[in-house]
């Protein structure tokens, strides 16, 4: 048992330290480096990330494997975290699925999720900074305008801690900011058999990326990685500037 734990710790450590070495000079090179470094394995996640150019969603070093500032104290998360999230959700982001992206920020992951659920699926991106909702709309319009026109992607301004009840239940929920605990509204809005990936901050301030499954109406939680995300908070705490 000890030996197994040690081996799995080593694997996680190796994978995570390699994660930051996946930078490329183009979107394709970045995504291929992430796959070669075993950050993710899903072919469908690969296809989605190849089809969505991260350069449409941030102008600063888009192909570096690092988070970048997008204003309003928000970041576009690091590519290795986006890749990992899509990998954990691969069996839930299937054709026709209904998904929620909480803290959709730049809109990048919302579009990757929409690629995976296809034209018969829906992804709601909820973001509390109205300015970022507008920015994400502009980013998506560059190469994926049809997703907005068809309603395949829906962008909502609101407090993601409440989820988005109008379109619930969701087969997949991604939360892109760290919560102090798992918001009850989000577990309530998870469909039977659905999965949520959420960074959760413990009392010691450390964050864990949690996988939450709803199986036979029961919630099963598992920590999959240690992570660093910006907080899931109120608009005023995040940004004191006014519109």
Q: For binding to ligand SAH (CB under 6 A), which residues are involved?
A: 74-77, 103-106, 108-109, 126-129, 132, 159-161, 176-177, 230, 232-233, 238
Rounded to the nearest whole angstrom, what is the least distance from the CB of residue 217 to ligand SAH in the complex? 26
Q: Which residues pair with 29 in a beta bridge?
A: none
Sheet holding 122-127, edge to edge: 153-157, 122-127, 98-102, 170-175, 190-201, 207-215, 218-227
In the complex with ligand SAH, the residue whose CB is nearer, 92 or 174, is 174
In the complex with ligand SAH, the residue whose CB is nearer, 173 or 177, is 177
Rounded to the nearest whole angstrom, what is the least distance from the CB of residue 81 to ligand SAH in the complex? 8
Q: Per this entry, what is the length of the chain?
A: 243
- State whether the Cα torsion 236-212-201-10 is positive or negative: negative
Is 17 an annotated catalytic residue?
no
CA 172/CA 117 separation, integer angstroms: 10
- Tell me what percent of the chain is helix, strand and coil, each rounded to the nearest 5: 40, 25, 35
Please pick, among 22, 42, 77, 136, the residue that the annotation labels catalytic: 77
Rounded to the nearest whole angstrom, what is the least distance from the CB of residue 161 to ligand SAH in the complex? 5
Helices (H), the chain: 2-19, 27-36, 43-51, 79-88, 108-117, 130-143, 145-150, 184-188, 235-238
Rounded to the nearest whole angstrom, what is the least distance from the CB of residue 218 to ligand SAH in the complex? 26
In the complex with ligand SAH, the residue whose CB is nearer, 160 or 216, is 160
In the complex with ligand SAH, the residue whose CB is nearer, 215 or 224, is 224
User: What are the structure tokens assigned to 159, written together?
Assistant: 């407090």
CA 125 to chain centre: 10
Catalytically active residues are 77
């Amino acid at each position: 048992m000890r030996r197994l734990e040690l081996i799995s710790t080593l694997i996680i450590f190796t994978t995570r330290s390699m994660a930051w070495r996946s930078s490329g000079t183009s979107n394709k090179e970045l995504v291929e480096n992430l796959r070669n470094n075993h950050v993710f394995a899903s072919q469908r996640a690969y296809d989605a990330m190849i089809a969505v150019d991260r350069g449409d969603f941030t102008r600063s070093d888009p192909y570096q494997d690092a988070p970048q500032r997008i204003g309003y104290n928000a970041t576009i998360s690091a590519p290795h975290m986006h890749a990992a999230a899509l990998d954990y959700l691969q069996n839930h982001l299937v054709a026709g699925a209904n998904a929620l992206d909480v803290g959709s920020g730049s809109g990048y992951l919302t579009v990757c999720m929409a690629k995976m659920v296809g034209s018969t699926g829906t992804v709601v991106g909820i973001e509390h900074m109205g300015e970022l909702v507008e920015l994400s709309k502009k980013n998506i319009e560059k190469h994926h305008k049809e997703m907005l026109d068809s309603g395949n992607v829906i962008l909502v301004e609101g407090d993601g801690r409440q989820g988005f009840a109008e379109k619930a239940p969701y087969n997949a929920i991604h939360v892109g900011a760290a919560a102090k605990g798992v918001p009850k509204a989000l577990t309530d809005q998870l469909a039977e058999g659905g999965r949520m990936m959420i960074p959760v901050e413990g009392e010691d301030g450390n964050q864990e990326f949690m996988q939450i499954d709803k199986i036979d109406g029961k919630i099963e939680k598992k920590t999959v990685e240690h992570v660093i995300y910006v907080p899931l908070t109120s608009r005023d705490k995040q940004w004191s500037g006014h519109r």
